[in-house]
Amino acid sequence: MSVAIIGTGHSRFGARKDVNVPELAWEAIKPAMQSANVDQKEIDFMVVGTAGLWSSEAAVPPLLYEYGMFEDVGSMRVEAACATGNAAIRVGYTAIESGEAEVVLVVGLEKMQESPNPTVIELIGRFGSYFWEFENFGLTFPGYYALHATAYMAKYGATEEDFAKVAVKNHFYGAKNPNAQFRREITLEQAVNSPYVAWPFKLFDCSPITDGSAAVVLASEEKVKEWGVEEKIWILGQGVGTGTANLSRRDSFTSLKSASYAAEVAYRKAGIDMGAPYRQIDGANVHDCFTAAEIIAYEDLRFAKRGEGVELIREEQTYIGGRIPVNVDGGLKSKGHPIGATGVSQAVEAFKQLLSRAENGRQVDVRNGRYLAHNVGGTGHYTYVTIYGLEKR
């Protein structure tokens, strides 16, 4: 059974001390339901993606049920570290595919700044192997990904300046996104000269701590036909991969095995040639929690051969007009990274791009009618890759 996204909503990302948890969620839920032309009675199931470790509220689905005045609707809370948003979409997608529901509301939500930054950093550390790596060796996520960055530098000759170019690109597009946390461009000099966080990463190599929400309404093919929905995109394929909890048990630090596997599954389901998938995809959102992670993603997703991902950023091939535009909404780096909302935000961007609604010069050339979302939890502990399209398979 084919599944479509028929409505989307998105809050402003940032330090949202002006709203509480349900108010922040409603900023995305209300426009999602309005654009889908549905009301509370037509929602069969509600999936809420939130890690929520740092938030004042834990029982978020019933809170949103009450605040949104829903009636007779099942709900589920989903958590998969930083891949929580795409995991929530998968739950809604499979609920419709299985025939358990026809219309599903998926909400990604995080209020991370309700806790002090040191507390948030420690809690994020629990998405790795907490006992072996955080408690014993003091690793936090900048350190986790710095291991991958230094391995990539040693093997393929990438430099700190190469990583900084990812930040420059993503801030260039984030400045054009009205919902982004950081709406300003930066120069290469600013990025290169910013203070170190975990070598080789500097301040501008790292995604921020963010509050935000995003929502999509999913519907079955039958409902799309019954309602005569004209503006929609389809989920063409989704792959899910899992990595080891302990990084010392991994074979490579220049790739995320879970991402490579998830991409292969998603491409196969979507009918995309795995030899050169970038020729059949118009653009992508990849999980740039750190700048080196975006370059590694180019290779895991087969946008470039192993060791050649760094050439894409050097040659500006991931800007609009290049081989494949990547993170033209600012990515996690500039748009922000409210963990539960990130994967849902990627779906909102796919909807916007495929329907040619991107604002302020961010619109990609939609020739193939396909868009990709790559959402990583932990350091490749989970990866979800989803292919969206204008036409169903």
The residues carrying an active-site annotation are 82, 337
DSSP 278-331: GGS-SEEE---SBHHHHHHHHHHTTSS-TT-HHHHHHTTTTSTTSSS-B-TT-H
In the chain, which ranges are continuous DSSP H helix?
Answer: 21-36, 60-67, 84-97, 117-125, 141-156, 160-174, 188-193, 221-227, 257-270, 291-300, 309-314, 331-335, 339-354
Q: Regarding beta strands 45-49 and 74-78, do their DSSP bridges make them parallel or antiparallel, or are they unpaired?
A: parallel
Nearest to 127 by CA among 112, 113, 141, 114: 141
CA 356 distance to own-chain centroid? 20
Look up residue 140 and give its DSSP letter: -
Query: Cis peptide leading into 338, omega within 30 of 0?
Result: no
